[in-house]
Structure 1
Amino acid sequence: MKQINQPGRIHVVFQPKEKTSLAAEPEWHRHPAHEVLLDIEKEMEHLIGLADLKILVRELYATAYINQKRIEADIQTKGQMLHMLFTGNPGTGKTTAARIIASMFKRLHILEKGHFIEAERADLVGEYIGHTAQKTRDLVKKAMGGVLFIDEAYSLARGGEKDFGKEAIDTLVKQMEDHQNDFILILAGYPREMAHFLTLNPGLHSRFPITHHFADYTVDELYQIAEQSAHEKWYDIDSAAKPILMEKIAEEKRKQGFRFANGRNIRTMIEKAARKQAIRLMKQTTHSKKDLRLLKGEDFELSK
């Protein structure tokens, strides 16, 4: 993590580094005052990977907690901007992270309402001059006291100079300035596209003091997601099918490159395997409970 101190804010940028373990807990985790963090971390236990996200959530909590202690100690504390920028390929957990952070801020009373609004280009961009600015202002008004999450934010600029998306960007920047601590804006999208997006308005980059990159899942992590997804649908993956599925996952990652949708692709694989299992079981006249739950290697056949 790299910190850049600026007047009235801390700019936090998370960079790839060695994994930090959260297993060795200090004494604070036994303190009842930190029940909110303990509950949030318990909710995140089922999330595969995302170690850096879990560290970010703990740091956001700690900052909010200590700021409250500073206020109680009569130390002048300026409100911190908490707008965030999430970069990463599809299916890497950006939306899930935004919802978790919104929930935590609500429980810490950092946000008055703590509601979560998910938006896309069509929710901000209008059809005629002046329409876009009004739509964007209305959306921000609805988000007051909560979190506004805009995925694929770079799509606001995809129409070129004459597109109304630029008007939406400019209006967002103005709203962030006018309502610095009244709502939290989280923008998300592909790394390369988001880097270009930030160049479209000179005040855009400085409005996001927290930037977090969501790395692609490893093949091992994707297999764990596959197991988790299967169990959620009351299926079991045959132990003999593991190397076949691992090879299938690795093949898809190689073949699709940056277009590989990580967790989304894995859930699709499980759904396809369930359909193939159904065809396979139709050939049998009797079906045990184990048969009905088991996904075999042939259900995860490799692409030809």
Structure 2
Amino acid sequence: MEIKLRFGTENKLERPKSNDNWGEMVEKGTISPAKAINLIRHYSKQVTHPPISQPEEAEKQKLDEILKELDDLIGLTEIKDLVKEIVAYVEIQKIRAKERLATEPTVLHMIFRGNPGTGKTTVARIIGKLFKELGVLQKGHLVEVERADLVGEYIGHTAQKTREQVKRAMGGILFIDEAYSLARGGEKDFGKETIDVLVKAMEDHKNNLILILAGYKEEMDWFLRTNPGLRSRFPIHLDFPDYTIPELMAIAHLMLERRQYKLSPEAETELEKILRKEAIFGHEHSGNARLVRNIIEKAIRRQAVRLVQEEKLTRQELMSINLEDIQGALGNG
């Protein structure tokens, strides 16, 4: 069963008589986890608990900074909401434990489904940092691997390679891209051995390792059907949609702004035309932020080639990406 973590609407509520009631209200869906956390913190300051210590305040500030990093990503509205719900869920479980209420096992292995360039790796990296601050993971780092990093060429080699990657990821997240490729070789393929080792690692290190399997939506759905036992081990499924044209343009502007460049009006029109054409006629897996990044990086190089022979350059000329730079980025760059 996939966790949706939707806890109902937030009504105007009076303060319960004790903190025990907050957990009950979350379970009944009368209040969201995020709202409960905020209210508990609010009333805790007013009543019996001592002021927040400096270490706790620093941890909260760090958590807020990471959540802002998530918020600053272009698009991904539903993904952001679900990640925040997962964070709230983890916090509520910690609060319930302090109040000596029953808690649910915090199983946080995930399936990421979506095309390349839709932000899967970026979100996974942010999740790792969030879970470190929440105390779920010791390190919170991300180890990104694919089939070649896990599957060996002879009997016994695969288990060794997979265990090495698991060891690297301990205390953090093991992110397996194109995870469906582990099941494509059939029963005799060594990929099945990798899956067996991973399943064992999930059990042995459930308190200090999170596994994220990522790939195209259709292929990941097929992968989970080939091994029904896997689906129950991954309670959180996140679907990453393709970016819209306005979102891709916003990503382009953000990339350029961080590098202190900007598009001329003609270059902006040309870039949007290219993105719209790619969305209609391009390969379904070739677009998104990866395409934008490639075009922008090539355009910056083309601009450098255009300007390098000039004796005097103004600040405006150094910052401006022109029409010819964008057009040149479509070549070999």
**TM-score, L = length of structure 2:** 0.78
C-alpha distance in structure 2 between counterparts of 1:282 and 1:231, whole Å: 21
Deviation at 1:85, TM superposition (A): 0.5
In structure 2, what is the equivalent of residue 135 of structure 1?
Answer: 161
Match of 2:109 among 83, 87, 90: 83
2:207 corresponds to which of 181, 206, 225: 181
Moved more, 85-94 or 143-152: 143-152
Please, which of 71, 74, 95 is the counterpart of residue 97 of structure 2?
Answer: 71
Q: What is aligned with 2:234?
A: 208
Question: Matched residue of 1:259: which SS?
Answer: coil
Instruction: Specify whether residues 12 and 288 from structure 1 end up closer, same or farther in structure 2 by C-alpha distance, changes over 3 A only.
Output: same
User: Aligned residue pairs: how many?
Assistant: 286
Shift of 1:255: 2.2
> Unaligned 5+ residue runs, structure 1?
5-10, 16-24
Q: Give, in whole Å, the separation in 1 of the partners of 2:197 and 2:305.
A: 53
**Partner residue of 2:38?**
28
Letter in 2 for 1:110: V
Change (3 A) 1:267 1:113: closer
Give 1:7's aligned residue: none
Name 2:216's counterpart in structure 1: 190
Task: Give me the identity figure in percent.
Answer: 50
The TM-score with structure 1 as length reference comes to 0.84
Identify the structure with bigger relative contact order (alpha carbons < 8 Å, sequence gap 6+). Answer: 1
RMSD of aligned Cα (Å): 2.7
Q: In structure 2, what residue type is equivalent to 1:173? A: V
Is the partner of 2:143 in helix, strand or coil? strand
Q: Does the C-alpha gap of structure 1 residues 45 and 182 become closer, same or farther in structure 2, counting only changes over 3 Å?
A: closer
Greater C-alpha radius of gyration: 2
Mapped partners of 1:45, 1:205: distance in 2: 29
Inter-partner Cα distance in structure 2 for 1:14 and 1:133: 35
Q: Which residue does the alignment assign to 2:3?
A: 12
For residue 285 of structure 1, report the CA deviation from its aligned partner.
4.9
| 8 Å Cα contact 2:143/2:174 also seen in 1 | yes
Instruction: Name whichever structure is richer in strand by fraction.
Output: 1
Cα–Cα, structure 1 residues 131 and 249, in superposed 2: closer, same or farther, change >3 Å?
A: same
**Counterpart residue number, 1:275:** 301
**Matching residue of 1:299:** 325
Equivalent pair of 1:248/1:300 in contact (CA under 8 Å)? no
Partner residue, 2:28? none
SS in structure 2 of the partner of residue 127 of structure 1: coil
The separation in 2 between residues aligned to 1:271 and 1:137, in whole angstroms, is 37
Q: Is the aligned partner of 1:111 residue 2:137?
A: yes
Q: Do the aligned partners of residues 283 and 179 (structure 1) sit closer, same or farther apart at CA in structure 2, a change above 3 Å counting?
A: closer
Mean alpha-carbon deviation: is it higher for 233-242 or for 76-85? 233-242
